[in-house]
A and B are shown apart, each in its own frame.
Chain A
Amino acid sequence: MSFEKKVEQSIQEVMSVYKQIHSLPQPTLLREQHYQYLKKGLRHLSDAYECLDASRPWLCFWILHSLELLQEPIPAAVASDVCQFLARCQSPTGGFAGGPGQHAHLAPTYAAVNALCIIGTDEAYNVIDREKLLDFLWSVKQPDGSFVMHVGGEVDVRSAYCAASVASLTNILTPKLFENTTNWILSCQNWEGGLSGVPGLEAHGGYTFCGTAALVILGKEHMLDLKALLRWVVSRQMRFEGGFQGRCNKLVDGCYSFWQAGLLPLLHRALYKEGESELSQQRWMFEQQALQEYILLCCQNPTGGLLDKPGKSRDFYHTCYCLSGLSIAQHFGNMDNHYEVILGKEENRLAPTHPVYNICPEKVAQALQHFLRMPVPEVSRQPGGSGEDRPSDAAAASSSADLQS
């Protein structure tokens, strides 16, 4: 039996057991269990020991974001501990590394900045050395517009997203920094409509999200073939499972609930800006209910935490992205026009998440407010750069303002 058939069968079993137990299907988000799981993870976040993990900032982000979606408060002491830990992950030459003493890398940099913005205290904001961060971004910038993930590393489209995300949130973004980046990202869109890691490769959910979100930050998303992208991503929602696959003919995976479904809000807004008249005022262009069903019925570990698909183990990565996807599926629109579709009890409702940064919209606004008060740092690389590079406020601010206004 093929893998696909096996997955479908296991999901079928889950669904039928569920229907047997419950006369009226009322899928329930296991809030308490998830909270306990996350709390345990939180406790070890700022442990001093040298851990095997080169992803400590990621753990911070995944756990903190999951808690904010569940609307669980983060104790002040823990928040402070996390700030201090992330400060130790910051490289003396700028950017954040996977752990103390390691080299800076764009992925943990993205995670660290997001985590600090979720905490949102002055202590958190002050951890970030903006001048050095800008130096780091310059050090990984390539002449063709792309970014390597770390000095001496390889290029892929995630790096552009990580760079654009942190630069826009902390107000160190200048047009020069992202010169040619738009064209490079565009060259990653292939005939299928999705984006690949590097131009010429296969379209892939994670990379597609990163490329698209980066372009949204840069204000250039309209330059993509939006219709082709739309065709590609909607084809990635599995007709039987309800969840999303990462690529054509692959298996469903809970994490793509965010990476793929998260594209629909971005596309919706982009098409709206292009004057598309047929857009719904209430729904995203994917089956929101089916996705919620998949996540709630098939992706929850009964003792807490979320996962890829039935039979897989839980982890914080899947917990974060399953919950993020659930939030996307529950909330349509922005503060002006907000429409909710909550499958099951009202208690299943999560906080909305910002579709570009994937932290809560209030946290985005707060961070922008804080950092926009500061001048864009001058870079040593820029000859005579003072006053020349004004912050590119349009893209970043408006993308969040839209969701707020």
Chain B
Amino acid sequence: MAESEEEVDVLVQRVVKDIANAFKKNPSIDEIGVIPCPEARYNRSPIVLVENKLGVESWCVKFLLPYVHNKLLLYRQRKHWLDREALVDITCTLLLLNPDFTTAWNVRKELLQCGVLNPEKDLYLGKLALTKFPKSPETWIHRRWVLQQVLNQVSTLDHNKNQQQAEAVQADAERNEQLSDRLARTLRQEMKVCSDAAGRYPSNYNAWSHRIWVLQHMARGNVKVLHDELSSMRVWVSMHVSDHSGFHYRQFLLKELIAEICKRPAHTSTSCSPQRGCSTVPEGSPCPHSRSHSNGEPSGQEAGGEEDSHADFTTVLQLFHQEMDLCSDLIQSFPGHETLWSHRRHVFYLWDQWVREHQHSCSRGSDCKLIHLTDPDPGVPEISSQSCAGQGHGVNGQKHASEPMEVDGLFLPDPHNSKRLKRGVLLPCPPTLPTELSFVSSVLGGCCNTEQRHFALAYRKWLDTVIGLQS
């Protein structure tokens, strides 16, 4: 069926219009797709809108795509003029069919910069494109560009606000609240987009990399967000136990959290100071009222350096313990997944590194003594029986090897620290080389899955050769 150029022209114009109208009709479209349909059977539009799903019948794509692509290129070469509305519609059509077409995103960048488009439109378009093309590198790249524009806008506004400090403080505070609300909303939306894309394609490198970028740029140093992400990701990774990228994200969160926790000296909650600007979601938003809202922030609220640094260690230890717990749980429940073992390695490696780095600073306070994790040197006089919580049983009833009498490497608080004892904080047992080796033994003892055996043995080899050699 040879289409004349005129017929194609008419068809394409109609299709582009139909797509634009579909969005006008239903601004809540949340998914796009191509409907396998080799031939146009009736004289009707190939654009199908059912509830919130937009479909394009496949027969028209081979006409549509080259035509629209060519039109845009001609526009770029100044051989053909397109007005702004046409540009918006055409790029929209193009990007829904081929979101890696950089030129189309670049045209939209220009439209954004001259105010024809607002950033939300492109974030929406990108989100839709990702429902069909969850990896699309150019879509993620453009998304970051748009978000950067939004962040620049916000910090400009903030800067301008500071210039008029003498004026209505109340109005400023409200505007600030709106800004940080907007940012918080944007942040949540990005997390959702990443999550959806990660669910659509296993180990979606680009989606997870974007997620990390968003946190680095929109929630820098925000302990609450990091904690929330860590906790909301628990469920996700438990349902995607082969998703290496998902677990890598947890490793990133852990690292960031620990860095943030340990960064702060004798601290009160870090409020968002006006000078700093609010281009990241402030910790206890809205700022500058954050002092009174701690939003369930973990330890570290009290004044007093010694207490705080100790609380830090507790928090860090708890974080690692929880992570190892999660890992053990999943390893037991889902035998034979390399990612889980890789994650264990990483968490242990992080812990091991952290311990080495903080050995000296920890013993600064009279409050605790950290023995090297693989150091066989005893020299531990009295051990408070309270000091090791959960030491008898781990997950699934698996016994930890670290009994109170275990001298080979334990994080021991000074039992004479009465303040601590009064608070009755029970510390979980830290991961150590011996506990890890014993974990491996218990897995080997209990399993018949060949892959699981292989990974357990490989982990043990790694512990012996890599970690063991470092001491």
Contact = CB atoms under 8 A, between A and B. Distances in A.
Answer yes or no: are A and B bound together in one complex: yes
Interface stretch (A192-200, A315-323, A375-383): A192-200
A191 interface: yes
Nearest to B339: A249
Contact of B244 (A52, A101, A191, A249): A249
B103 A4 contact: no
B325 to A, nearest CB: 21
Contacts of A248: 244, 338-339, 342
A2 B248 contact: no
A202 B73 contact: no
Contacts of A191: 346, 349-350
B212 A200 contact: yes
Interface residues of A, number: 22
Contacts of B102: 54
B69 interface: yes
B65 to A, nearest CB: 7
B441 interface: no
Nearest to A228: B466
Interface in B319-349: 337-339, 342, 346, 349
A249 B242 contact: yes
B257 to A, nearest CB: 14
Nearest to A105: B102
A250 B349 contact: no
A197 B248 CA distance: 14
A360 B402 CA distance: 58
B144 interface: yes
Interface in A190-244: 191-192, 197-198, 200-202, 204
A202 B242 contact: no
Contact of A154 (B101, B103, B144): B144
B385 interface: no
Contacts of B350: 191
Interface string A64-87: 000000000000000000000000
B242 A198 contact: no
B210 to A, nearest CB: 10
Interface of B is mostly: helix
A198 B102 CA distance: 21
A153 interface: yes
Contacts of B202: 3, 250
B361 to A, nearest CB: 22
A279 B156 CA distance: 59
Interface string B351-379: 00000000000000000000000000000
A328 B212 CA distance: 35
B63 interface: no
A192 B346 contact: yes
B118 interface: no
A247 B212 contact: no
B203 A250 contact: yes
A102 interface: yes
Contacts of A4: 242
Interface in B249-296: 252
Interface string B65-80: 1100110010011000
Interface in B213-246: 242-245
A143 to B, nearest CB: 18
Contacts of A153: 141
A386 to B, nearest CB: 37
A274 interface: no
Given A50-B73, A247-B244, A249-B242, A201 B212 contact: yes
B246 to A, nearest CB: 10
A202 B211 CA distance: 12
Contacts of B252: 200
B208 interface: yes
Most buried by B among A3, A154, A249: A249
B124 interface: no
B205 interface: yes
B178 interface: no
Contact of A250 (B209, B244, B248): B244
A247 B208 CA distance: 14
A202 B338 contact: no
A95 B101 CA distance: 20
Contact of A102 (B69, B103, B208, B349): B103
Interface in B43-96: 65-66, 69-70, 73, 76-77
Contact of B248 (A3, A54, A102, A202): A202
Given A2-B242, A249-B338, A250-B203, A197 B209 contact: yes
Interface string B8-29: 0000000000000000000000
A202 B210 CA distance: 12
Given A248-B342, A249-B342, A202 B349 contact: no
A102 B244 CA distance: 36
A102 B349 CA distance: 46
A50 B71 CA distance: 11
A202 B208 contact: yes
A357 to B, nearest CB: 24
Interface string A167-203: 0000000000000000000000001100001101110
Contact of B65 (A52, A192, A197, A201): A52
Given A52-B65, A191-B349, A202 B342 contact: no
Contacts of B342: 192, 248-249
A4 B337 CA distance: 10
A58 to B, nearest CB: 13
B77 A101 contact: yes
Contact of B66 (A52, A200, A250): A52
A153 B66 CA distance: 25
B141 A154 contact: yes
B203 A247 contact: yes
Contacts of B338: 248-249
Interface string A248-268: 111000000000000000000
Contact of A50 (B70, B245, B337, B346): B70
A232 to B, nearest CB: 10
Given A50-B70, A50-B73, A202 B346 contact: no
Contacts of B77: 101
A202 B244 contact: yes
Contacts of A2: 242
B431 to A, nearest CB: 16
Most buried by A among B66, B208, B248, B349: B248
B103 A249 contact: no
A52 B346 contact: no
A50 B339 CA distance: 44
Nearest to A198: B209
B450 to A, nearest CB: 10
Contacts of A204: 205
Contact of B205 (A50, A101, A192, A202): A202
Contacts of B242: 2, 4, 249
Contacts of A101: 73, 76-77
Nearest to A101: B77
Nearest to A193: B466
24 contacts: A3-B202, A4-B242, A50-B73, A52-B65, A54-B103, A101-B76, A154-B141, A154-B144, A192-B346, A197-B205, A200-B252, A201-B209, A202-B205, A202-B208, A202-B209, A202-B244, A202-B245, A247-B205, A247-B245, A248-B338, A248-B339, A249-B243, A249-B338, A250-B203
Q: Considering the complex of A and B, which 4 residue pairs feature the smallest CB-CB distances, nearest first?
A: A249-B339, A202-B248, A249-B338, A249-B244
Given A204-B205, A249-B337, 12 more contacts: A3-B202, A52-B98, A101-B77, A191-B346, A200-B212, A201-B208, A202-B209, A202-B244, A247-B205, A248-B244, A249-B243, A250-B244
